[in-house]
Chain A
Amino acid sequence: MTRLPLSVVGGYLGAGKTTLINRLLSEDHGLRLMVLVNDFGAINIDAALLASTDEDTIALTNGCVCCTMGADLFMAVGDVLDRAPRPDHLIIEASGIADPAAIANVARAEPELSYAGIVTVVDAGQIGGLLDDAQIAPQIRQQIGVADLVVLTKTDDVPGEVAALLAPLHPRAPVLLGGDRVTPLLLDVVPMGQRVTPSGHPAYTGWHCACPQMRDRAALQDKLERRPGGIWRIKGLVQTGEGMIEVQVVGANCELRAVAGGQAPGLVALGLADRVTRAEIEGWWSGT
């Protein structure tokens, strides 16, 4: 059975998690998303997109569904896995103080899930105060530290003082929630082994290799560990001397697993255009 990709959206209260989720639900990405939120309060869907609503569920005409998760998040994840048909992608909104890694870790543990990243949303105006608050700063730092992608909200650029605050907490610079830069990254709209979908889009760098080969799993692992920092996503199948290996890279997370042969190999990579170029990716892959 296809594994269900799981993304976690973390960030403190009021940081803009719901704004991001509203966009994920309503943008035209062609995926049937299932979103688990704490509360419907701020979910704001265009009436034209609403198919039905009840106390705990909003169904959209585009096939997306938004549910409250109830008291037991993990049991709710079990319910999602039992749904027929399964959604294409599961997104969980972590509560304001939660450690998103404690949730996303289930995607590594559960064989029927696949890890699709932690996005921590940071309010550019709020973050300074939060990191100054000794009572909660450790948990805020943790939320940022475990992120694969830090999204900065409520600003048009990255203020220098915010960049300075975030730099010690996360190796990659934050991205902005402006325009359409973020949601395609999160949703993993790159089907396995095919060409990069947001092709030609100026905001993204895409790269594709038709029949990637490596000597063995260790060599592949080593290569991936040295990938350019601007790559957000790599996925596909690589032929090695030890058989076919499936590669899943999301942000800082890299996962390899042996799979049955018989499928065509192929590898795709995706990153933000201002972070990485196709030549850099090509140079990394074909270099030694």
Chain B
Amino acid sequence: MASTTLFRCRRIITMDPNRPEATHVAVREGRILAVGDADCVWPDQEVVQDDRLADTVLMPGFVEGHAHMMAGAMWRYAYVGYHDRIDPEGVLHRGMTDIADVIERLRGHEAGLPEGQPLVAWGFDPIFIEGDRLGRAHLDRISATRPIVVLFSNFHLMCANSAALALAGYDRHSNIEGVVKGLDGAPTGELQEMAAMFPVMRRTGIDFRALTQRPDVIETYAQVCRRAGVTTATDLFAEMEEADVDTLLRVTGQPGLGLRLVPALGAAGGDPERIAERALALRARSTDRLRLGAVKLMTDGSIQGWTARVKWPGYVGGQPNGLWNTPPDQIFALCAAMQRHGVQMHIHVNGDEASDVSLAALEAAARAHPWPGARHVLQHCQMMGADQFRRCARLGVCANIFANHIWYFGDQHAALTIGEDRAMRMNAARSALDEGVRIAIHSDAPVTPMGPLFTAWCAMNRTTMSGRVLGAAQRITVGEALYAITLGAAYTLGLDGEIGSIETGKIADFAILGEDPTRVAPEAIRDVPVLGTVSGGEVHLL
């Protein structure tokens, strides 16, 4: 007979209203056999007591409903972002608040590199940096011979030093859109958009495809998740060629990974019917550790990049409305085809016009091909108001809300993108819940760092980086926030019957915490230590 392990804990927050708290959980074959006190297991069972977690607080393993696998692989490059970040090994990287800091940090990285190897950095965001624009001259101070490239956090821009520009043949004679030139007629080093970035990337060995779906990338992603207490994570826009799927199956199938992975097939361009067929073929290959079959639709861009599709009155700076990545009638065609074939969709919507069009497409699809349990998910939902959430509720459409934006970009949204009044109602988790919508909240890692407790803190407090509260009326309670990062997110993935709470019969996925998030002050929940995870009964302490 399989052995049963009985974990004793300081406290277990189950997220099961029938027994909200417990002290013991028994695990057999990776599943929860019983929850309760020391006597929760039936008397005739053989039990091995495990006291490693005796001083910890257990919660259901957190579920990250919107992140990307490259969140781990980016760390092969030097981090030069404004915010503090913790790498997959647990090392804290202090944020860099001015260009001198960035240069200083890169000097350190440069010294450790073998000769000839380009220095690549990531995470730089000029929106937070006052004074000079980062340029070639700054980077030339680090090295005149080694190619140096700094990728901006939005991946639409980069800055290269003179050695890297020379690789691509960029000089004062270049007349190329996206190769920015200064008053002196020479390139400043800033390169805008992929066409101008590509020749430098190609010659410095930067290939975004190598940052996803490779064995070491999956393992690093699992490390990132473990540090955040996450036991199930999405990869929301995956290419998934045949060889990629084989790799995903092999690596997620290995013991010790500690992660349940939910990739969504990217549905950009191409025939909706064929995409639906591919999604269904992928679904048939799902395992416990690799859940396939959903698709991801793109619609608009980002608000802070002024590329989100925003309803009237648009951007406060008078910028033109954003860009469709998928035109509205293609959104309708994709929604119709996926709904007809029974394929679940995650739909990227940042601006309120994008969410409006997507809801209209979902309404049309629901009328044409009724499917009450579809559980499609609008992702980001940053400008949705009560009216759009009511439409979600009526359709059974979930909302995965980008709560982290409040802290990271809230001040910029109020000042620069959509203005104070609309920024106050951004990422309106309160409205969504009040209208009866099933919600999750997310990080979109690597856009912001993965950390469901931090995301919960954002949704509960709505504090921005400047320390102000942006839209107190949209705050949610600790119970609602913890639900959103466990059962709520599990629901958006169709996994709420298997994970998301600690109750008998479910998979033994837990987050191991140093304190009880329900008993700390709301402002302190982001500081609750994550000590590791239990994944399918397997303990992974940090």
Contact = CB atoms under 8 A, between A and B. Distances in A.
A108 B198 contact: no
B472 interface: no
B329 interface: yes
A74 B328 contact: no
A147 to B, nearest CB: 16
A228 interface: no
Interface stretch (B221-229, B236-244, B338-346, B527-535): B236-244
A48 interface: no
A279 interface: no
A70 interface: yes
A96 interface: yes
Interface string A78-95: 100100000000000001
B207 interface: yes
B74 to A, nearest CB: 16
Contacts of B373: none
Nearest to A73: B194
A78 B242 CA distance: 21
A97 B195 contact: no
Contacts of A77: 198
Interface string B311-338: 0000000001101111111100000000
Contacts of A97: 323-327, 330
Contact of A78 (B177, B178, B202, B241): B202
Interface in A38-79: 38-39, 41-42, 55-56, 68, 70-75, 77-78
Of the listed residues A39, A72, A77, A106, the one surrounded by the most CB atoms of chain B closer than 10 A to its CB is A106
B4 to A, nearest CB: 45
A71 B195 CA distance: 15
B327 A111 contact: no
Contact of A74 (B198, B242, B273, B321): B198
A260 interface: no
A163 interface: no
A169 B474 CA distance: 45
Given A13-B329, A41-B274, A109-B176, A71 B266 contact: yes
A138 B327 CA distance: 12
Interface in A19-45: 38-39, 41-42
Contacts of B110: none
A13 B330 contact: yes
B62 to A, nearest CB: 27
Interface string B184-203: 00000000011110110110
B370 interface: no
B366 interface: no
A259 interface: no
A21 to B, nearest CB: 14
A81 B199 CA distance: 11
B195 A102 contact: yes
A76 B169 CA distance: 21
B47 to A, nearest CB: 49
Interface in B272-300: 273-274
Contacts of B196: 105-106, 109
B179 interface: yes
Nearest to A42: B271
B199 A71 contact: no
A42 B241 CA distance: 20
Contacts of B374: none
A104 B176 CA distance: 11
Contacts of B215: none
A165 B26 CA distance: 72
B353 interface: yes
Contact of B268 (A55, A71, A108, A110): A71
Nearest to B209: A75
A71 B327 contact: no
Contact of B320 (A42, A104, A138): A138
B327 A108 contact: no
A208 to B, nearest CB: 28
A204 interface: no
Nearest to A257: B173
Interface in A104-154: 104-106, 108-111, 135-136, 138-139
A268 interface: no
A111 B165 CA distance: 12
A270 interface: no
Contacts of B266: 71
A103 B195 contact: yes
22 contacts: A39-B271, A41-B273, A42-B271, A55-B242, A71-B237, A71-B268, A73-B194, A75-B209, A77-B198, A96-B269, A97-B330, A105-B195, A108-B177, A108-B195, A109-B168, A109-B199, A111-B169, A135-B324, A135-B353, A136-B324, A139-B324, A139-B327
Closest 3 CB pairs of A and B: A39-B270, A38-B269, A105-B195
Given A12-B327, A39-B271, A139-B324, 4 more contacts: A96-B327, A105-B193, A106-B196, A138-B320
Interface of A: 12-13, 38-39, 41-42, 55-56, 68, 70-75, 77-78, 81, 95-97, 101-106, 108-111, 135-136, 138-139
Interface of B: 168-169, 175-179, 193-196, 198-199, 201-202, 207-209, 237, 239, 241-242, 266, 268-271, 273-274, 309, 320-321, 323-330, 353, 357
